[in-house]
Homo-oligomer: A and B are copies of this chain.
């Protein structure tokens, strides 16, 4: 068999297997899988450096299937490439508890570098990976000997329609991420029909406008052209590269080139027809030995050799740079414990807003932990995300640890996901709380992918003041708390803020959102240690507990003040600070009962935000279930009845 015949056999085997996989599941998206098969075949056999025997090898090239619906292709590639994914796994595509779910899931299937499916987010995460690659390498002496790889992404038309992709490519172009290579499977078909129903862009021009390098491949079946394009892309020194490959959706199917083959299995007959087109004569799920052998001799061999060489280099490097190596190992493992020494001290007069407290904590922690990096969406000065005297992360100063994400919240969150998927950094991103709305899906992705992302959200209530209802969160905390596996912490003062930072940094599989005030917050009788329990008593009742005030963040001070007023009226209140409902829910029933020691009817939750979700703990949640208003903070607070007298009146009514 000559090389051309072997190539044909391999590509056909991949395509045939995709058909079998989707047919067996009776579910899936064969269209793009069949169109893109030659692209991934070329990428894996000729370029991608990764080791199927050690899928987590730190210096591997990353590959993200942004068009996650083409998962049958990725699984087939992983199978023939020697990853631990068997034919039986392929046969249980999209079945309960299989290793081959409908869309690729990070940490679930070895060789999958990112969870994808929600369109645009694959590209957006890949940008973060490429940023991390550059940043990690730059943090260490001779770091580029240790971290030096490409990030590849495959996307379809859908990803480029999502606005998120523009944020991503704009940021990538701005940062000149030359080791990011985006392959665009351009088949001109979407689920509802031809792309011309909804898309008239000149994609090449759009990428040129964002300072990308553009390479075009006219025929998606032309392996040589694809190979050449990838080789050229890898040479780019100052721009990310897009390779635009014209493909045919559902190649081989009788319905090829139409939306009919986008989201439906080909079925028995059409599958047979396609295999005839490929001139491929093997039974379903049978892949000729030559195919495995070829991948073994190309992809697997290359990966193993590179990794072996890398280990040698690493051994020498770590010997010469002991301290750096120790830091890098901590960074990759996400270990921060050794950096935390003792509980921080605060002046009794401390009344920093929690955004300021967060900024101070961050700056201190940044000095202690050498691998923290982050930034904001153009509100560094308001959300206090900046390292004072720090350097901006740019192409020229890749060791800078302040990132300017621009006014691109969704990409900022996705890039953080990508940085964490890459590994080697602790990261944080920040913006105003209300704009968490712009990044909801990325926060969900952090949670679903078990990434310990850190979100700093300041301006956390109507106390935003003058900016008015468009900028005042009401239901935003409910939104965040409702996402599974998200730890929302709303600290009441500087001490709780620092504790929240510690919890966030120690987390390994749960994202944390720190909810920060714009306005000043006096130091309470708060507990550094108890924040991790989610809730604790901040002011005991003086005698018999009549009522519990259950407050978070800025409202803890309100509750403490109200307690005093209540006492004058003969009502004895206990005040509980509940920075995190997430952490509280994880405590023992015993602890929960100790804290919420009265029946729900005697518990009044207090939050200057929506009451949605608070009925779990309180029969009488005190909050705001309408939109806010533009006014100086103190006037807005008064108008919404969040003065001690107001709360006192409410409590008295409840008690009576």
The 0/1 profile, CB within 8 Å of B marked 1, for residues 107-119 of chain A is 0000000011111
Is A557 an interface residue when CB atoms closer than 8 A count as contact? no
List residues of chain B with CB within 8 A of the CB of A440. Answer: 437-438, 440, 479
Top 4 A-B pairs ranked by shortest CB distance? A163-B163, A198-B406, A101-B630, A166-B166
- B102, B164, B438, B485: the one contacting A468 at CB < 8 Å is B102
List residues of chain B with CB within 8 A of the CB of A541. Answer: none
New A-B pairs, 6, CB < 8 Å, besides A118-B438, A205-B205, A615-B615: A102-B467, A119-B407, A161-B406, A163-B163, A191-B381, A203-B209
Query: Which residue of chain B lies nearest to A616 when distances are taken between CB atoms in the complex?
Result: B615
Is there contact, CB below 8 Å, between A173 and B161? no
Query: Which residue of chain B lies nearest to A437 when distances are taken between CB atoms in the complex?
Result: B441
List residues of chain B with CB within 8 A of the CB of A625. Answer: 484
Is A202 an interface residue when CB atoms closer than 8 A count as contact? yes
Is A269 an interface residue when CB atoms closer than 8 A count as contact? no
Near B by CB (< 8 A), chain A positions 69-101 give 94-98, 101
Is there contact, CB below 8 Å, between B158 and A95? no
Q: What CA separation (Å) do A53 and B200 show in the bound complex?
A: 41
Near B by CB (< 8 A), chain A positions 168-206 give 170-171, 173-174, 190-193, 197-206
7 contacts between A and B (CB under 8 A): A162-B167, A191-B381, A193-B404, A197-B404, A445-B470, A613-B613, A615-B615
Is there contact, CB below 8 Å, between A484 and B162? no
Is A271 an interface residue when CB atoms closer than 8 A count as contact? no
Q: What CA separation (Å) do A620 and B161 show in the bound complex?
A: 43
- B117, B165, B203, B631: the one contacting A467 at CB < 8 Å is B117
Q: In the assembled complex, how far is the CB of residue A54 from the closest CB belonging to chain B, in whole angstroms?
A: 26
The 0/1 profile, CB within 8 Å of B marked 1, for residues 367-402 of chain A is 000000000101111100000000010000000000
Is A307 an interface residue when CB atoms closer than 8 A count as contact? no
Query: Which residue of chain B lies nearest to A197 when distances are taken between CB atoms in the complex?
Result: B404
Is A408 an interface residue when CB atoms closer than 8 A count as contact? yes
Is A482 an interface residue when CB atoms closer than 8 A count as contact? yes
Given A479-B479, A484-B625, is A630 in contact with B119 using a C-beta cutoff of 8 Å?
no
Is A25 an interface residue when CB atoms closer than 8 A count as contact? yes
Is there contact, CB below 8 Å, between A211 and B205? no
Is A483 an interface residue when CB atoms closer than 8 A count as contact? yes
Is there contact, CB below 8 Å, between B162 and A174? no
List residues of chain B with CB within 8 A of the CB of A613. Answer: 478, 482, 612-613, 615
Q: How many copies of this chain are found per oligomer?
A: 2
Given A407-B119, A407-B158, is A105 in contact with B469 using a C-beta cutoff of 8 Å?
yes
Q: What CA separation (Å) do A568 and B128 show in the bound complex?
A: 57
Given A191-B378, A410-B163, A471-B117, is A205 in contact with B199 using a C-beta cutoff of 8 Å?
no
Is there contact, CB below 8 Å, between B404 and A192? yes
- The count of residues in chain A whose C-beta lies closer than 8 Å to any C-beta of chain B is 106
Q: What CA separation (Å) do A190 and B431 show in the bound complex?
A: 14
List residues of chain B with CB within 8 A of the CB of A555. Answer: none
Is A208 an interface residue when CB atoms closer than 8 A count as contact? yes
Q: What CA separation (Å) do A191 and B471 show in the bound complex?
A: 16
- A-side residues, CB < 8 A to B, are 25, 27-28, 68, 94-98, 101-103, 105, 115-120, 157-158, 161-167, 170-171, 173-174, 190-193, 197-206, 208-211, 376, 378-382, 392, 404-411, 434-435, 437-438, 440-441, 444-445, 447-448, 465-471, 474-475, 478-479, 481-485, 610, 612-613, 615-616, 625-627, 629-632, 635-636, 639
Query: Which residue of chain B lies nearest to A27 when distances are taken between CB atoms in the complex?
Result: B466
Most interface-central of A116, A164, A484 (chain B CB within 10 A): A484
Q: In the assembled complex, how far is the CB of residue A263 from the closest CB belonging to chain B, in whole angstroms?
A: 8
Q: What CA separation (Å) do A208 and B117 show in the bound complex?
A: 30
Given A163-B410, A437-B441, is A96 in contact with B636 using a C-beta cutoff of 8 Å?
yes
Is there contact, CB below 8 Å, between B206 and A635? no
List residues of chain B with CB within 8 A of the CB of A632. Answer: 27, 94-96
List residues of chain B with CB within 8 A of the CB of A105. Answer: 468-470
Is there contact, CB below 8 Å, between B465 and A475? no
List residues of chain B with CB within 8 A of the CB of A405. Answer: 198
List residues of chain B with CB within 8 A of the CB of A166. Answer: 163, 165-167
- B94, B118, B170: the one contacting A466 at CB < 8 Å is B94
Is there contact, CB below 8 Å, between A381 and B117? no
Is there contact, CB below 8 Å, between B205 and A209? yes
Q: What CA separation (Å) do A629 and B206 show in the bound complex?
A: 37
List residues of chain B with CB within 8 A of the CB of A164. Answer: 163
Is there contact, CB below 8 Å, between A475 and B483? yes
- B198, B411, B626: the one contacting A174 at CB < 8 Å is B198
Q: What CA separation (Å) do A407 and B123 show in the bound complex?
A: 15
Is there contact, CB below 8 Å, between B201 and A103? no
